[in-house]
Amino acid sequence: TLRIMVNNQLYGEYSLKEDQTIRIGQTNICEIKDGAVRMVKADCPDHLCMKSEAVTGEGGTIVCLPNRVILEGISSNSQAPDTVAS
């Protein structure tokens, strides 16, 4: 699963099994392809997020700091961060 956060708010969660392009507000565009996601467009000055490695369901994070966008790969086997294991 791909979790997108913008300004510390959940923007959406998307399956990595379906190839698609996602517009994130007016600033960023990410692309899910073959189970991995990359940032393909950003209006930030340095484009570090576009140079980051692709994120998969195994984990990983892409951050566009100027636009406060976070792409996070979430394993379907992982627990939510606020869940306590019994």
Return the SS3 of 53: coil
As given in the structure block, the two tokens for residue 31 are: 């692309």
Q: Write down the pTM of the prediction.
A: 0.85
Going residue by residue through the chain, which has 86 residues, state the pLDDT in tens, using 9 for 90 and above: 999 999 999 999 999 999 999 999 999 999 999 999 999 999 999 999 999 999 998 999 999 999 999 999 998 665 444 434 43
pLDDT of the residue at 81: 47
Helix H or strand E encompassing 50: helix 48-51
Q: What distance in Å separates the CA atoms of residue 42 and residue 17, rounded to the nearest whole number?
A: 23
Kindly give, in sequence order, each residue whose CB lies less than 8 Å from that of residue 18, ignoring residues fewer than 6 positions away: 32
Return the SS3 of 23: strand
What residues form DSSP beta bridges with 24? 28
pLDDT of the residue at 75: 85
